[in-house]
Amino acid sequence: MKPKDLKWSFSETLPIRVEDRIWSVPRWNGLEEDPFVFEGFGSDQYFGNEKPLYLEYCSGNGLWIAEKAKEQRGVNWVGVELKWKRIKKIWSKIQNEALDNLMAVHAEAKQLTQDYLFDSSIDKIFINFPDPWPKKRHIKHRLFCASFVEQLGRILKPGGTLTLVTDDEPYAIEAVEALLKSNVLKPLSTAPHYIHELDGYGSSTFEELWRQLGRKIYYISFQKSS
């Protein structure tokens, strides 16, 4: 079924809630003291098991993560996306493909990571084509900064990996610089610490678009020290 045909009970103004493979964390939920307590993805409210946990930020329409969830049923997948219309598209894929190993999280990435995600709880992190915010006045909106890199290092399990994919060379260079400053994350490729092809990685809507336009793709992988 198409997203528009599926019954939808969520709203950006509702308090934090978990229901039917969606975890909604509105940026402004109207509650000064929200009683919500995150019990971990292994709890019954989420996956109800302790399978390896892979998290994707900037999930977009969910093409990449839904395909991965179908291919790797022994892994629990979490897709984080800020835009509601994209969350609904991910949800439609969950419903249509019966993906009980995939959840969509409507949240701002930094807020979710800092306020809810546990230390050493994620096996792999993927960040696919984050908005590069190329103008100087928009730098504050970029996902990659020292504090976010620190949080990524915190939530990764020892030996866990982080993979960032972008088509924007300046953004790739800045991301590498931020990651190299981490005390716990180490590059998996030699300088300049990115590659242009990564076999078996999978494809997303943005990757297909940028490759059609002849752009280079930058794959950046780091690993948490064990």
Catalytic residues: 131
CA atoms within 13 A on the CB side of 100: 8
**198 CB-near residues (< 8 Å, 6+ apart):** 163, 219, 221
- Which residue carries 């590659």 as its tokens? 195
Per DSSP bridges, beta strands 102-106 and 22-24 are parallel
Give φ, ψ of 140 to 5 degrees.
-60, -20
Q: Where are the alpha helices (DSSP H) in the chain?
A: 63-71, 84-97, 109-115, 146-155, 169-180, 205-212
How far is Cα 71 from Cα 151, in angstroms, rounded to an integer?
28
Angstrom distances, CA of residue 67 to CA of 24, 38, 52: 22, 27, 17
- Which residue carries 């291919």 as its tokens? 71
